[in-house]
Structure 1
Amino acid sequence: MGNRFKRFIPQADFFSKGLYMFDIGQNDIAGAFYSQSEDQVLASIPAILSEFETGLKELYDQGARRFWIHNTGPLGCLPQNIAQFGKDPSKLDELGCVSTHNHAANLFNLQLRALCARLKGGFGDANITYVDIFSIKSDLIANYSNYGFENPIAACCGYGGPPINYDSRIGCGQTKVLNGSSVTANGCNDTTKYINWDGIHYTEAANLHVSSQILTGKYSDPPFSDKMPLLIKLEL
């Protein structure tokens, strides 16, 4: 590309100053349930984390020294997973979430936390922070009304109506013919009242809540110092 984009390429020493953020687990675990049993999904977790560890080591060898690692959220509370795996009410917990998915997410997070602790010993001069996203999101869903939300698991942009407003046949914003009628998966009137946007991703309002909780430092291991949240905001 010549020199046209050269000014956008950071100098080599910038990589050692960067903050490397990872949000891992959702696609790996939730996706595996479509082709594997629960036991197989659980058995695959060490291999997933081994690949992740390899990637972290490669970054470390290239000079990365500050890692901010998010665990995975309550996957069983995503409308997409409830629609596919929660047809039997006995598969759901008290919040209406798929128990198997949340169990797998918890086991994944336990092993991820152990990996982070081990890497702290192997990467002696690195700063590795583990962030408990699962607890933040679980609290948000369980206590949604306390945070100003009205719909804890329904998708804002979807089709099908309550309780989850999600149909895998028609994605957010699409118009299709279903059962002989043309229908559209429209967005809700007020996105600030919904935690979930499209069955998979969170709304901007929910993500704002999650990020504000992250920056308190109380969900981090090690916990943030008093000045750490400001430092991270400046870096981002």
Structure 2
Amino acid sequence: MAPKRIIVPGNLPGGCTPIMLTLYASPRTSDYDHLGCLKKSNGLARYHNGLLRSQVQALRSKYPYTKIVFADYYQPILAFLRRPANFGFDNSTTLAACCGAGGKYNYNAVATCGFPGTTACADPSRAVSWDGVHLTESAYREIAGAWLHGPFAEPLIYSLVH
């Protein structure tokens, strides 16, 4: 018996995460896009998501009685970075971790959140990234809403249950 519903999440733009921005920092401004994200890392995520979408389409054809949703992580993160205030995020820290040990992106691989010397931002709900790797509750809440009601899932998850 085949499952009735499957949700397939794509990759987020890794080049916009504090961990990648710190570990793969470049002195060349041409390595970054207009949002301050690493172009190559994001190019890889876009490529992966394109292949994944095409495979989801193929699976939909092969299993027409199973509802298969592609849940996009990539576009919501870019929306947060383009217009942070629209989502309640702090414009000055969209690429930085809320909890970390300092530095440009508040991420240090040898002193991650929870280690001595790390601190959390005053209002985590205004941050996109919690610890440089994971998103904050508020970012996940925005993404979940966009997957349920639109526009970042195809078909919308809410449409599967109603």
Instruction: Give 1 or 2 for the bigger CA radius of gyration.
Output: 1
Instruction: Tell me if structure 2 keeps the 8 A contact 1:67–1:127.
Output: yes
Q: 1:157, 1:188 within 8 Å by CA — same for their partners in 2?
A: yes
Aligned equivalent of 2:130, options 193, 197, 214: 197
Provide the aligned length of Structure 1 versus Structure 2.
159
Query: Matches of 2:44 and 2:9 in 1, distance apart?
Result: 16
The 1:228–1:124 alpha-carbon spacing in structure 2 relative to 1, beyond 3 Å, is closer
Cα offsets for 1:121-156 (capped at 9, x unmatched): 222321111122211111112211222211211100
Counterpart of 1:206?
139
Which one of the candidate residues 171, 186, 204 is aligned to 2:119? 186
User: Letter of the aligned partner of 2:80 in structure 1?
Assistant: L
In 1, the alpha carbon distance for the partners of 2:59 and 2:2 equals 15
The answer on whether the counterparts of 1:132 and 1:219 sit within 8 Å (CA) in structure 2 is yes
Contact between 2:97 and 2:105, CA under 8 Å: does it hold in 1?
yes
Q: Post-superposition shift, 1:223? A: 4.4
Structure 1: gaps of 5 or more residues? 1-61, 176-183
**Matched residue type, 1:96:** G
The structure 1 segments of at least 4 consecutive aligned residues displaced by more than 6 Å after TM superposition are: none
Match in the other structure for 2:86: 146
SS in 1 for 2:132: coil
Conserved 8 A contact 2:21-2:37: yes
- Paired position in structure 1 for 2:100: 158
Deviation at 1:73, TM superposition (A): 0.9
CA contact (8 A) 2:148 2:156 kept: no
1:63-78 alignment runs, 5 A limit:
63-78=2-17
Is there any run of 5+ residues in structure 2 with no aligned partner, and where?
none
Give, in angstroms, the shift of residue 68 of structure 1.
1.1
Structure with bigger strand share is 1
Deviation at 1:63, TM superposition (A): 3.7
Residues of 2 paired with 1:206 and 1:219: CA distance?
Answer: 14
- Give, in whole Å, the separation in 2 of the partners of 1:220 and 1:83: 30
Give the drift of 1:192.
1.2
Q: TM-score, normalization: structure 2?
A: 0.89
In the TM superposition, residue 64 of structure 1 has moved relative to its aligned partner by 2.0
Does 1 or 2 have the higher relative contact order (CA < 8 Å, sep 6+)? 2
1:87 aligns with 2:26: yes
Across the aligned residues of Structure 1 and Structure 2, the Cα RMSD in angstroms comes to 1.8
